[in-house]
Amino acid sequence: MAQHIKITECPRDAMQGLHNFVPTDVKAEYINLLLQVGFDTIDFGSFVSPKAIPQLRDTADVLSKLDLDNTQSKLLAIIANYRGAENALMHPEINYLGYPFSISETFQLRNTNTTMAQAFNNVKRINELCVANNKSLLIYLSMGFGNPYGDEWNADIVQHWAQKMIDEGIGYIALSDTIGASTPEQITSLYPALTRLSPITEFGVHLHSTPDTWQEKLAAAYQAGCNKFDVALKGYGGCPMAADDLTGNIATENLIAYLLHQNLDLGLDLDKLSEAMDYSGKVFG
């Protein structure tokens, strides 16, 4: 059973689909509150085309306003190509680069305008760049539990691509439920199968859920040995391609409540968490 839990708080994922631009100072103040909670990692921004994600065009400016002197949390930024990785690596404060690799050809084309073959070539080149700059690359295996496009999906395909990432020396992989399609049965069988592929690579889950399925998904992942979870306060965000408007990130407060019920000491400042939750209204409206 997982004991030492690593939580990645994902304000980037929560904010990226908002239509109204959130002022840079508001973003920075929100993330500064999150940095004081004690999360393992903050997924704070992305270095992608402003045309693709206009909400996050100010990521570098937000980063310049973060107080990193009084936090142990690490910073994660999302990139979608080699150029984005180069831009992210100009900022030494960033610890992880996250790259979405979809095991759905259709979604890979929609998300990064590349085929899976091209995307895997990007993974290799970006990982070399990360290693040369003493950074870590995290790969999201997106559409990890199925897809709405009719592309073939099965557990063997997921394991095939996970193994290819491991063979390239990728140290961090997040099994991603991009559209909230996962079931507890899938999580229970697939997550342990992936962890058996490598004793070195860290596997986590990035689950999306409707409000009535989050607990069974978290329970399945935790009981399968998962100790690395991506979440967002109040369940904001999610995939804009999801057909169900209620499908979003699993709420941070729900994960914390579940884990505290397991009698785990998470080492979080719950007062700062409460402050961040109150402040989130300024961000999300």
Give residue limits of the domains in the chain: 6-284
Q: What is the CA radius of gyration of the chain?
A: 17
* CATH number of this structure's domain 6-284, picked from the four choices 3.40.50.1820, 3.30.470.20, 3.20.20.70, 3.90.230.10: 3.20.20.70
- Cα angle for residues 108, 196, 171 (degrees, 5° grid): 55
- Closest by CA position to 266, among listed 217, 234, 231: 231
Tokens 């999150």 belong to: 34
pLDDT at 240: 46
pLDDT at 245: 54
Per-residue pLDDT of the chain (285 residues; tens, 9 = 90+): 456 999 999 999 999 999 999 999 999 999 999 999 999 999 999 999 999 999 999 999 999 999 999 999 999 999 999 999 999 999 999 999 999 999 999 999 999 999 999 999 999 999 999 999 999 999 999 999 999 999 999 999 999 999 999 999 999 999 999 888 899 999 999 999 999 999 999 999 999 998 889 999 999 999 999 999 999 999 998 654 444 455 789 999 999 999 999 999 999 999 999 999 999 999 998
Q: What type of residue sits at position 142?
A: S
In angstroms, the CA 276 to CA 285 distance is: 14
In angstroms, the CA 161 to CA 101 distance is: 9
